[in-house]
Structure 1
């Protein structure tokens, strides 16, 4: 019954007109009056912001704020993979031979997530890692590695919540929600960066130009809290042993290391 009521409510509220209303409100000058309450409620660190709080003209400007990046040093080492976002480590594990992974007891298909046969095959028996951004987090996305972008595409329309309730009771938000996928190659290793939209607001903006990225540089931003899913090929990545579920992680902090693959 709980799952039914949750899904019924979300389907009822996840309509285009409501999404547009929320987007318009957060971008309106009137929404700036809610900034102090928002900052206090979510305990946002004002000292890290690039600009004083009084300079943000709307909630949208606050959501997409930039930071003084001296507070986000990028781990040194060409083989080190860093977190692309400030987030909570929600889940990680193996991608099965049947192209699925398990999160919160639910099975997700990378075939459905990626929708490209030539891409999904690369990640069978690889590793997945889910990073959840709440509305309180810094919303800008940075490159986890240096490399070449060999593909970039978007899928989905509506967006369901990607918080604990959404993952537990929702309709497979990681494979149904609006999402923008970037595939990057470094040496002989491929990495899929799946940027998943959050409830109501589908906004995922890409700010990087060109087909080469440098570790730590900004590549885009979310317009609301959301999720990043990283997919690594088999035998291409070793997770840092210090990483554990529900831990907080910041942009630039190490997630693990890439390793030379012996097979293609």
Structure 2
């Protein structure tokens, strides 16, 4: 497969931009060079490497990495509750909280909000689109969940893939209001979830460590919220209380250092995807979104709410 730069669409301007990917040359070697397969399988995908790196990012000495990282990636620190010199480690910076109202959350009933900052790709029908977009790959919901009943529940449903790059805000939130279940953890590998890696193997979502929970809602039926681990992600931390009622925009948890992914699964015929996100995805390109931004509307509840 040919290695290509990652293009995405800035939703606010409609412009096509090229993503600045940290460690891009290394990713090219691991996932596109036959000589990269050995270190990928023997070392990079293993838990101990990501755990070791995560521990390094927890050390006070890692603070020295913060100023250059902020400058290189033009991160808006005006949104952060803490200033650069207040962080205790790079992970402390990486999991930073934002000031209230830093994100405009679409709170209208029947509107699904993005759970995170990132680049979104949507599959309108999981069963059909995975075969169309990912030729030759055998992605199945049963492999993803390791559970037949959940696989059946979301059969032919909608999948939102929200990919968080290392430069993004790394806390994730609830896309709607409802009753939230506990989080089920499925152990697995630590492949990269960069678009560079996913292009070569969509089954990474079935192979990496992941957690998922179910948000029971009136507006959207039952939404599955899944968090995917990745290379150099030191951990996935859930901060919510299971079996409680949560409001749209409430914090659900955060990722430690590394690029990560949040996946939303919606039941079939329950939702209308925003046109621009769907059209961009059909062209094979992601769209930049921010936490709280609209992804589409419910097809269940109609009337005064719309």
2:7 counterpart residue number? none
Structure with more of its chain in strand, by fraction: 1
Of 277, 294, 297, the match for 1:254: 294
| Runs of 5+ consecutive residues of structure 2 not aligned to the other structure | 2-31, 302-306
Note if contact 2:46-2:190 (Cα within 8 Å) is conserved in structure 1.
no
Distance 1:208 1:173 in 2: 26
Deviation of 1:91 after TM superposition, in Å, equals 4.0
Say whether 1:190 aligns with 2:230: no
Task: Compute the displacement of 1:200 (Å).
Answer: 3.0
CA shift for structure 1 position 169 = 2.7
Q: Is the 8 A contact 1:101 1:109 kept in 2?
A: no
How large is the RMSD of aligned CA atoms in angstroms?
A: 2.2
Are the counterparts in 1 of residues 205 and 228 from structure 2 also a CA contact under 8 Å?
yes
CA distances 1:89-144 after superposition (whole Å, capped 9, x unpaired): 134331227x9666554442111111121211111111111110000000001000
Unaligned runs of 5+ in 1: none
- Decide which moves more: 160-169 or 77-86: 160-169
Q: Secondary structure at the match of 1:256?
A: strand
Q: Which residue number in structure 2 is paired with residue 43 of structure 1?
A: 74
Per-residue deviation, 1:30: 0.6
Aligned mates of 2:48, 2:263 — CA distance in 1: 28
Deviation at 1:149, TM superposition (A): 2.0
For the 8 Å contact 1:124–1:234, the answer to whether it is kept is yes
The equivalent residue for 2:37 is 7
Q: Is 1:216 the counterpart of 2:246 in the alignment?
A: no
2:237 aligns to what SS in structure 1? strand
Please tell me whether the aligned partners of residues 81 and 144 of structure 1 are also in contact (alpha carbons under 8 angstroms): yes
Moved more, 169-178 or 197-206: 169-178
1:78 is matched with 109
Q: How many positions carry a matched residue from both structures?
A: 260
Q: What is the rounded CA distance, in whole Å, between the counterparts of 1:259 and 1:95 in structure 2?
A: 18
Is the counterpart of residue 117 in structure 1 residue 148 in structure 2?
yes
Distance 2:55 2:65 in 1: 14
Residues 193 and 230, structure 2, Cα contact 8 Å, conserved in 1:
yes
Distance 1:138 1:53, change over 3 A: same
Q: TM-score, normalising length from structure 2?
A: 0.79
Distance 2:206 2:36 in 1: 18
Contact 1:93 / 1:101 at 8 angstroms: preserved in 2? Answer: no
- The TM-score with structure 1 as length reference comes to 0.91
* d(CA) in 2 for partners of 1:258, 1:239: 9
